[in-house]
Chain A
Amino acid sequence: MNKIILLVEDNPSDIELTKRALSKSRIANELVVKEDGKEALDYVLNDCFTIGGQLPALILLDLKLPKVDGLTVLKTLRSDDRTRRIPIVILTTSSEKLDINSSYDLGANSYIRKPVDFNQFVEAVNSLGLYWLVVNEAPPT
């Protein structure tokens, strides 16, 4: 079964670049993109249980999002028993200590600061996918 990757990101350029980085890393998983925090929560907490019935295997979450910000999304997902074990990787431009600390405190599995250099970004996404989709043994659902 094809594992779904959920990308929560509002910048179209970043969405495209992330897609490109994923494909360059030969990660062919289905990619669902939600462009604000509210849509992302609706998708995971409602749609996944009603329509498709499949939770994402990995969530790539930006922090700065319209409507509901990334940290709130993280907090909400971590406080729901159904979703609290989904690996969530914060993928953001912020290098603020506060953001990093809050993310880990709220249960993020990893925090990656998007490098400006695309090649570095590809490397990061590559190792990310390798770890969370291949190496990591997902918790039983």
Chain B
Amino acid sequence: MYDTPWYAVVKIDKSEVYGSFRERAVIFSLAGLLLVIVLTQLAAGYQRKRDREWMLQQIELEQDKLKLQEDYQSIARQWQTTFDSISDGILLLDKNASIIRANKAITDTTGVDYAQIIGNSCWKIMHGSNKPIEDCPLPEVLASKKRAIAELLMDGHWVFLSIDPILDEENQLIGTVHIIRDITSQKQAEKALRESEATFRELFEHMSNGVSLYQALEDGSNFIIKDINAAGESITHSKHDSIVGKLVTDVFPQVIEKGLFAQFVRVNRTGRPARFETFNYIGDELEYWLDNYVVKLDSGEIIAIYDDITERVKADTANKKLNEELEQRVLQRTEQLAVANKELEAFSYSVSHDLRSPLRGIAGWSTALAEDYNDKLDEQGRLYLERVIDETDRMSKLIDGLLKLSQISKAELSPTPVNLSDIATQIIHRLREEYPERKVDTTIQADIVVTGDANLLEIVLTNLIKNAWKFSSKTDNAVIEFGKTFIDKENVIYVRDNGAGFDMTYAAKLFEAFQRMHKASDFPGTGVGLATVKRIISRHGGRIWVETSPNNGATFFFTLGMEA
């Protein structure tokens, strides 16, 4: 009680209270009034406090609501952006197939404003039609409430379409989600791949090379046949369908013996390609000969490319055999030729001995007759005997010419530099001595040096110059010329005269033995001189020819293959 102020108020002196009732009543009234005021004040303060708290609560609520709104907007923006940034077209349809949402890919690809899209039917916007197109899986989804997909061709574009149903809690369909993906480039790539594959498959099948494809087992111990082309089938005498999927050693056991298998293993291990040949003989007969090329592909598969070169090898072998036979034949011929040469030598020997002997007898006894029986013969008889002796002389010269010809054929050539001008000068000198009565102008080009056999070349010049001398013997102002000229990039040596010449019509056999262009009574001769000349030129690898016409002289040209 002492704690309350009210204690002090009542602690008034009793005399005073009874002193004045009015005073007391006033005091009581004042006190009561004061109490009421105080209590009223207290209650009002409490009410004010509660009002303030409610206000604060209201503000907080308002703030939460604002934040929720912000969050919602942010999330909505996030999803809208995501929705729009997906490159596939996305459409949300209500259960009546009216579009309620579409992403940017849709507006981009259709070119239709968003506002126009919303509320429209899917087929109107996407296909411009009044009802779902034939291949559209939407009716199916509506009926089954299950996802459906389809590939559709739209405006020249291939699209992949998926439709998913949106279901409520009671499993009632309230809409659908359509996702449209443009797969045109993928389709094109697939098409290109298919075409490329078809091309290569065709190539594979039509190649003349056999091709087999193998897959190595995991441990590389064997190979499974994966494919073989037509040429491969034909070369290996196998059928694609009966060998594919099998082990190579099961189908072709001979690959081990022929070394092919070892090559497969090596190529598979090292990755380095190998080229080699395999073959088989049955007895002497070649069964097959293959040229093989084995490569490991990037895919890890082993590819074997092989050519059947059996026929080629057979042809080569036949060729080789033929060549050997030819060589053998050449050897035989050479041998026969050597024998023939020997016979020719024997013949020449025989000619020189056996033919000359009786000739000498005829000449000798004719001379004896002319000497010992001169007085018994008349003029005519003596003339006849003279003829006999002359003829034997001619025969003797013929035999000598023939012998010389045969000797040239077998003589060894010993080529040295030869000064033909010097030789020609000497020959002319001797002819002038022998026939001092002849007046012949001679021109000899100086220093014509060639490479050849000096003795044989002297025989050539002797024959040609003597011919020129002889055939110009009936010509006034006879001229003989010896020189060198240049015809068709070749050095050509010539001997020219202005004598009788001859008709080229009959010149074909000019360089053959015993061929003569003139009657013996005009110009005597044996007919072996030019044959000898030609043989010598030939042995030097050169050629000889003549330019002439009757009464216009003749020019003999020759080349020497050995010429430096």
Residues of chain A having any CB pair with chain B under 8 Å: 11, 13-14, 17, 20, 64, 92-97, 114-119, 121
How far apart are the CA atoms of A64 and B360 in the complex, in Å?
16
In the assembled complex, B74 has its CB within 8 A of some CB on chain A: no
A17 touches B352 (CB 8 A): no
In the assembled complex, B492 has its CB within 8 A of some CB on chain A: no
Centre residue among B349, B357, B389, B403 by max chain A CB count within 10 A: B357
**What's the nearest-Cβ distance from chain A to residue B325, in Å?**
37
A14 touches B357 (CB 8 A): yes
A96 touches B349 (CB 8 A): yes
A13 touches B364 (CB 8 A): yes
**What's the nearest-Cβ distance from chain B to residue A120, in Å?**
10
Given contact pairs A94-B349, A95-B403, A96-B352, A119 touches B367 in the complex (Cβ within 8 A): yes
How far apart are the CA atoms of A14 and B407 in the complex, in Å?
26
**What's the nearest-Cβ distance from chain B to residue A10, in Å?**
10
B368 touches A116 (CB 8 A): no
A116 touches B359 (CB 8 A): yes
Closest residue of B by beta carbon distance from A64: B353
How far apart are the CA atoms of A97 and B400 in the complex, in Å?
13
Given contact pairs A95-B403, A116-B393, A20 touches B364 in the complex (Cβ within 8 A): yes
Closest residue of B by beta carbon distance from A13: B361
- 23 pairs of residues in contact across A and B, judged by CB atoms under 8 Å: A13-B358, A13-B360, A13-B365, A14-B357, A17-B365, A20-B364, A64-B353, A93-B352, A93-B356, A93-B360, A95-B400, A96-B348, A97-B407, A115-B360, A116-B356, A116-B392, A116-B393, A117-B363, A118-B364, A118-B366, A118-B368, A121-B360, A121-B364
Taking CB atoms, residues of chain A closer than 8 Å to B403 are 95
In the assembled complex, B526 has its CB within 8 A of some CB on chain A: no
**What's the nearest-Cβ distance from chain B to residue A14, in Å?**
7
How far apart are the CA atoms of A94 and B399 in the complex, in Å?
12
Q: Dominant SS at the B interface? A: helix
In the assembled complex, B396 has its CB within 8 A of some CB on chain A: yes
Closest residue of B by beta carbon distance from A24: B371
**What's the nearest-Cβ distance from chain B to residue A81, in Å?**
32
Given contact pairs A116-B392, A118-B368, A93 touches B363 in the complex (Cβ within 8 A): no
Closest residue of A by beta carbon distance from B356: A93
**What's the nearest-Cβ distance from chain B to residue A35, in Å?**
14
**What's the nearest-Cβ distance from chain A to residue B385, in Å?**
12
How far apart are the CA atoms of A96 and B344 in the complex, in Å?
13
A-B contact count (CB 8 A): 59
Given contact pairs A95-B352, A96-B349, A118 touches B357 in the complex (Cβ within 8 A): no
Closest residue of B by beta carbon distance from A119: B367
B363 touches A118 (CB 8 A): yes
**What's the nearest-Cβ distance from chain A to residue B411, in Å?**
9
Centre residue among B352, B396, B403 by max chain A CB count within 10 A: B352
Taking CB atoms, residues of chain A closer than 8 Å to B349 are 94, 96
5 pairs of A and B residues whose beta carbons are closest in the complex: A13-B361, A118-B367, A116-B396, A17-B364, A118-B364
How far apart are the CA atoms of A14 and B367 in the complex, in Å?
14
A14 touches B353 (CB 8 A): no
**What's the nearest-Cβ distance from chain A to residue B463, in Å?**
18
A93 touches B353 (CB 8 A): yes
Centre residue among A11, A92, A118 by max chain B CB count within 10 A: A118
How far apart are the CA atoms of A64 and B175 in the complex, in Å?
137
A94 touches B353 (CB 8 A): yes
8 Å CB contacts to A: which residues of B375-420? Answer: 389, 392-393, 395-396, 400, 403, 407
**What's the nearest-Cβ distance from chain B to residue A33, in Å?**
16
Would you give the 0/1 interface string for B296-316, flagging 1 where the beta carbon is closer than 8 Å to chain A? Answer: 000000000000000000000
How far apart are the CA atoms of A116 and B352 in the complex, in Å?
11
B363 touches A116 (CB 8 A): yes
Taking CB atoms, residues of chain A closer than 8 Å to B400 are 95
How far apart are the CA atoms of A17 and B367 in the complex, in Å?
10
How far apart are the CA atoms of A118 and B367 in the complex, in Å?
7
How far apart are the CA atoms of A11 and B355 in the complex, in Å?
12
Given contact pairs A116-B392, A116-B393, A117-B393, A93 touches B367 in the complex (Cβ within 8 A): no
Closest residue of B by beta carbon distance from A12: B361
**What's the nearest-Cβ distance from chain B to residue A43, in Å?**
23
Would you give the 0/1 interface string for B14-30, flagging 1 where the beta carbon is closer than 8 Å to chain A? Answer: 00000000000000000
Taking CB atoms, residues of chain A closer than 8 Å to B363 are 116-118
A14 touches B361 (CB 8 A): yes
Closest residue of A by beta carbon distance from B366: A118
Centre residue among A11, A20, A93 by max chain B CB count within 10 A: A93
Taking CB atoms, residues of chain A closer than 8 Å to B358 are 13
B359 touches A94 (CB 8 A): no
The residue that A17 contacts in the complex, of B348, B361, B392, B396, with Cβ under 8 A, is B361
Given contact pairs A17-B368, A95-B352, A117-B396, enumerate 10 new A-B contacts (beta carbons under 8 Å).
Answer: A11-B357, A13-B364, A17-B364, A20-B368, A93-B352, A93-B356, A116-B393, A118-B363, A118-B364, A118-B367
The residue that A93 contacts in the complex, of B348, B357, B366, B407, with Cβ under 8 A, is B357
